[in-house]
Structure 1
Amino acid sequence: MFYTKINNRRYLGNKYRILTFIKQIISENCGDFESFADIFAGTGAVSSAYTDKILYTNDILYSNYLCHLTWFSDEVFDISKVANYINLYNSEIPFEENYMTQNFSGTYFSDKVCSKIGFIRENIENESRSGKINIRERAMLITSLLYGIDKIANTCGHYDAYRKNADLSESFTMCVPEPNANLKHNHCFNEDTNELVKKISADVVYIDPPYNSRQYCDAYHLIENIARWEKPEVFGIAKKMDRTALKSKYCTREAPAAFEDLIKNITAKYIVVSYNNMAKKGNDRSNARISDSQILKTLENKGDVKTFSQPLKAFTTGKSEHSDNEERLFICKVK
């Protein structure tokens, strides 16, 4: 049986490579604390460093929320049961026509792989409805499926487009997630971040919002579609579903106002903001939506601010012309 870890997934803005830097800066500036909130958690890479705390995770994408339930939920699960399902899903499954074959064959996946994905995802839902698996076990199986198809998807790392005339894999392997079984008092959310902060509090609130105009729901629409399994109509060459409700203000001109509203409503001892230094270096889609001066002004209204930086090679679909990219951490000690 193969196993998978939280970082075994491609994702825009993933902080796993600079996690040591983030942990060091937080440790040196925030002292001892009991609770940690990661409110734009993405894959959960940063959250994974704070499983010894009372942990709050949040992401607007349901696919990421399921991953958080997998890695961080405190619900009891049966790992042998999960492994048995994954053994079944890794076996040869007869071909069938289903939602995946009807909409995605020959694009991101082959006809055969589409059939298998559709069967597996439907089976997980049926097992959940019948009470044979609990909420966390369901999340673990869907997460395993998403991690498995990410390895063989015909993309450059996200799903804005697929490569035409590419050789499509005829198989994929699901692996058993390796979550911590002894977590306590953790809370996973799938909400609008600006609304969530009005309802929770933590000693340290970590903020890693989208930086530019590239919406995550566009880049990962197919992963989100499979996670939700509502079987919506898809359209366009990339086969996207309606994502209106998943669009983030942080990718638009409304980002500074949204950020100001967010910070104003946070209850915490320390606020840590992660934001890169793209500013006006690239094309309009790549440029940062919130300027350094706007970040600093907003945080200084909340408390005392320090800034730290770390060189960062950004994840792109091509060659970046910008060799001086940095990830910055703004640490605000709340008044």
Structure 2
Amino acid sequence: MESGLGKMIPTTKINNRRYLGNKFKLLPFITDVISKECTDFETFADIFAGTGAVSSAFTDKILYTNDILYSNYLCHLTWFSDEYFDISKIESYIDFFNSDIPYEENYMTVNFADTYFSKKNCSKIGFIREKIENEFHSGRINTRERAMLITSLLYGIDKIANTCGHYDAYRKGVELPESFTMRTPEPNSNLKHNHCYNKDTNELVREISADVVYIDPPYNSRQYCDAYHLIENIARWEKPEVFGIARKMDRTTLKSKYCTRSAPSAFEDLIKNIKANFIVVSYNNMAKKGDDRSNARISDVQILDTLRAKGSVKIFSEQFKAFTTGLSEHHDNEERLFVCKCS
């Protein structure tokens, strides 16, 4: 893409990010089932949206997206908000951020130098994130433009992070990259009046309604706020104290009950309060196949009993190889869609 600066500015797409449970490769399966089973719908709610991959397949509908992580919420604003943005302005900022910025000590260098990123890259990340916040509070960029620039930063550093795709730990004794490239998010066109939320899902469903509600909750005990704490820290930019070898912040308010033993009761409360014509639940078949942390927190029986109290249910499945933490391999991995036609 050529910017107003006369330069070719690299771009990025919604799927260009590593993320546990990302459904991008399963979109043909998911969209085929929904298009055949959920007829004549105009509104689509993706209430555990993650990166927004599934929502990206339904941009011809009015979207409701939600995620408890603020970093994902910013990505949703980037890809799905209908707020006006100036692409030339975005490209100008990104061109500047990709230039050689002088080293400075900041929150990132003090807390994360030579862990997930080199000291030089930490300096640049801290400078860029502070600059974006200052530009927003000065009124020079709007809410969506701020989200687009932060998303560009998060996608850029994800490419060079010293991790296996998540931030539970970093590798020691490796050579760290000394630079990274920010790219312009490719904007969606012809968007409808979408709604993006950053709320507890069980609270949100009491406030909204949609023709189709798609549910893709965490499957096991591995909390997303643990796996992506640094991404969330940079997105929020509240500069909290961090601790431990992994340099994690306090994540108490970001913990999901769907990763705990209370998941079945939380799921029952969720389904009971959903206002929709169709409910589509995506859930992995791990059951008791892995170590205890990897095992599913809600059984098939519990899913079916809960959904059948709401309406008639069909089940569809597709084999796939998931992006995982690399600790386990299961070749008979299946993603199932439970489609409930509400009574």
Q: Same fold (TM over 0.5)?
A: yes
Are 2:305 and 1:328 equivalent residues in the alignment?
A: no
Tell me if structure 2 keeps the 8 A contact 1:76–1:181. Answer: no
Pair 1:140 & 2:159 matched: no
| Cross-structure match for 1:57 | 65
Q: Which moved more, 1:130-139 or 1:308-317?
A: 308-317
Amino acid at match of 1:122: E
Aligned to 1:123: 131
- Which residue of 103, 107, 121 maps to 1:99? 107
Moved more, 175-184 or 210-219: 175-184
For this pair of structures, how many residues does the alignment match? 335
Q: Aligned pair 1:112/2:120, yes or no?
A: yes
Matched, 1:225 2:233: yes
SS of 2:188's equivalent?
coil
* Aligned equivalents of 1:136, 1:222: Cα separation in 2: 22
Tell me, in whole angstroms, the C-alpha distance in 1 between the residues paired with 2:306 and 2:96: 52
What is aligned with 2:271? 263
Alignment partner of 1:157 is 2:165: yes
SS of residue in 2 equivalent to 1:141: helix
Per mean C-alpha deviation after superposition, the further-off stretch among 172-181 and 286-295 is: 172-181
Name the residue aligned to 2:39: 31
Match of 2:81 in 1: 73
Counterpart of 2:68 in 1: which secondary structure? coil
Question: In the alignment, which of 4, 11, 24 is matched to residue 3 of structure 1?
Answer: 11
Unaligned runs of 5+ in 1: none
- Displacement of 1:179 in angstroms is 1.7
TM-score by structure 2 length?
0.97
Query: What root-mean-square deviation, in Å, do the aligned CA atoms of Structure 1 and Structure 2 show?
Result: 0.6
Shifted more, 61-70 versus 172-181: the winner is 172-181
SS at match of 1:327: strand
Aligned amino acid, residue 179 of structure 1: P
What is the match of residue 92 of structure 2? Answer: 84
For 1:192, the equivalent position in structure 2 comes to: 200
Deviates more, 1:321-330 or 1:193-202: 321-330
Q: Which residue of 2 aligns with 1:300?
A: 308
Aligned-residue offset at 1:121:
0.1
State the Cα deviation string for residues 229-255 of structure 1 (Å, max 9, x = none). 000000000000000000000000000
**Aligned position for 2:213:** 205
Give the conservation status (yes or no) of the 8 Å contact 2:290–2:328: no
2:21 to 13, 16, 19: 13
Counterpart AA for 1:112: K
Match of 2:3 in 1: none
Answer whether contact 1:70 1:143 (CA < 8 A) is retained: yes
SS of match in other structure, 2:131: helix
Q: Unpaired segments of 5 or more residues in structure 2?
A: 1-8
* Match among 237, 241, 253 for residue 245 of structure 1: 253
SS of structure 2 residue aligned to 1:253:
coil
- CA shift at 1:319, angstroms? 6.0
The residue that corresponds to 1:176 in the other structure is: 184
Note the C-alpha offset of 1:283.
0.4
